[in-house]
Structure 1
Amino acid sequence: MAENDDSQLSTLGYRTAGSGRRAEIGAARRARSRNTLLTAAFTCFGQETGQASRIEDICKCAGVARGTFYNHFDDLEQLKYQLQEELTGEFDRAVHLMLAALDSPAEQTAVAIRYYLHAAEKNPAWGWAMIHSSAPGHTFGETVWHNSLVTIRRGLDQGVFSISTAEIGRDILMGAVAAAMVSITQGCTPADYPEQIARHILLAFGMSAAEAQQICTRPLPALPAIAHEKIVIASMPALGEIGGPEPPGGGR
């Protein structure tokens, strides 16, 4: 009887281990399928005409059936949201590692603007994907939308900015940066355009011309290396190459 019990337990253990292994394989296959769709979405949205991309276009690019799309996303808007998180998640984390070393909300704001716009300059496909996958009310993703508001509110509390509300400042910043990203990805801007945009945003926030100019022409530190293996999109910009010891050309 004991031998039978041991045999049954052994068989049960084998079955449990086998089920666990099958679940792992299934999860890995599902992750690869999702990543294939996100990479295809990046390819479709990451071009100037990408705004018109449909689910059918993304599925064709990914080489999957339409039903596979709905195994991972409810609709195109949900895919755009997830794509934004992939495009900005680790990038924004790297940016905020640098912002933590800066005391002034004004400099934090200017540096963040410059990082994002220089990233679009170095990788236009990333810039176009950022533009075309942004949702109304969450430009560049929910995390960036929230973090910009927090920084601007701190600037108001410290008396650095002179605007009516942090929400107005957030809308000014996001609108200007989104429009500037379009101009940059179209290749029709000077090398110091990110600095010019940052300077004019600080002016709109009530800072003096001298203060804004001084802040926006400081050397831009190189972004730290980040965990690239966490990023689904293979064509992300080389983050460590953004910024460096020499400041870009002064704003005009």
Structure 2
Amino acid sequence: MMTGTTGSDATPTKAHSGKLTRGHKKKARTRQQLIDAALRIYAEKGAGELALNELAREAGVSNGTIYNYFRSKEAVLEAVAIALAENLSQQVNVLSEGVTNGAERLAVGVRVFVRKAEKDPNWASALVNVVRYAEGMRSKLAANVLKDLRAGYEQKLFSFDNEELAIGLVVSGAMGAMIDVVEDRAVEHHGEIVASMLLQALGMDREEAQAIAYRPLPA
């Protein structure tokens, strides 16, 4: 009697768990579908131009589906910004793993931004449009830069008068380099040149900055 009860309880639990798993996966796929569609719209029109009904059409879902995930275009922007910042941060962190030199870490980050823009100009255009509006994304990028700036400063590689302005210099320089790529103004070795110039602006001499900026990216 007790054995039969236990078996009976276990079967529905597994089935219910399976349904939840499939449901969560489908919801995650739809959310990603919406984020990808928003990226395409941002790349083409800018972050201030997105309308939720247009997003629904671009993503191939009903208008009602949108509201299961996002209540406003500001919520869409925030989700896209977080996704972009996390994606970029993950790529930079993977490449910088094991690199302790603050200047080299900063150069790797700048070059990753530029190379990503060169490979996918639409993505870069979306990023440039989004970062103007998304405070959370700017904060995320600034936090990553800050770690490398402080490491370089403690290692006596950098010399600057104001930390906040130094962060703004690096972030603005990287964004400017991406805009150059998007607007077809990039030159050969664009990422390396920008990284070298930023390192020099942070107090390094030209020869040392160039040596670091042109090192092969970590595997």
Q: What is the CA distance between 1:206 and its match in structure 2? A: 1.9
In the alignment, what sits opposite 2:156? 159
Q: What is the CA distance between 1:79 and its match in structure 2? A: 2.5
1:85–1:141 Cα contact (<8 Å) kept: no
1:19 aligns with 2:16: yes
Q: What is the CA distance between 1:90 and its match in structure 2? A: 4.4
Of residues 199, 212, 222, the one that matches 2:196 is 199
Q: What is the CA distance between 1:74 and its match in structure 2? A: 3.8
In the alignment, what sits opposite 2:70? 73
In 2, distance between residues paired with 1:109 and 1:175? 13
What SS does the aligned partner of 2:90 have?
helix
1:57 aligns with 2:54: yes
Gap change, CA 1:66 and 1:14, over 3 Å in 2:
same
Q: What is the CA distance between 1:16 and its match in structure 2? A: 2.5
Of residues 147, 162, 168, the one that matches 2:144 is 147
In the alignment, what sits opposite 1:110? 107
What SS does the aligned partner of 1:207 have?
coil
- Structure 2 gap segments, 5+ residues each: none
Of residues 23, 32, 35, the one that matches 2:32 is 35
Q: What is the CA distance between 1:220 and its match in structure 2? A: 2.7
In the alignment, what sits opposite 1:229? none
Aligned-CA RMSD value: 2.4
2:85–2:137 Cα contact (<8 Å) kept: no
Q: What is the CA distance between 1:9 and its match in structure 2? A: 4.4
| TM value normalised by structure 1 | 0.75
1:138–1:145 Cα contact (<8 Å) kept: no
Q: What is the CA distance between 1:95 and its match in structure 2? A: 2.4
1:87–1:126 Cα contact (<8 Å) kept: no
User: Moved runs in structure 1, 4+ residues, more than 6 A?
Assistant: none
Gap change, CA 1:177 and 1:84, over 3 Å in 2:
same
1:102–1:108 Cα contact (<8 Å) kept: yes
Matches within 5 A, 1:112-131: 112-131=109-128
Gap change, CA 1:11 and 1:127, over 3 Å in 2:
same
The one-letter code of the counterpart of 2:62 is A
In 2, distance between residues paired with 1:140 and 1:195? 23
In 2, distance between residues paired with 1:96 and 1:202? 19
In 2, distance between residues paired with 1:212 and 1:221? 15
- Aligned residue pairs total 217
Gap change, CA 1:18 and 1:43, over 3 Å in 2:
same
Gap change, CA 1:139 and 1:19, over 3 Å in 2:
closer
Q: What is the CA distance between 1:7 and its match in structure 2? A: 4.9
- Structure 1 gap segments, 5+ residues each: 225-252
Task: State percent identity of aligned pairs.
Answer: 24
1:40–1:58 Cα contact (<8 Å) kept: yes
The one-letter code of the counterpart of 2:80 is L
What SS does the aligned partner of 1:71 have?
coil
Gap change, CA 1:211 and 1:83, over 3 Å in 2:
same
Q: What is the CA distance between 1:215 and its match in structure 2? A: 2.3
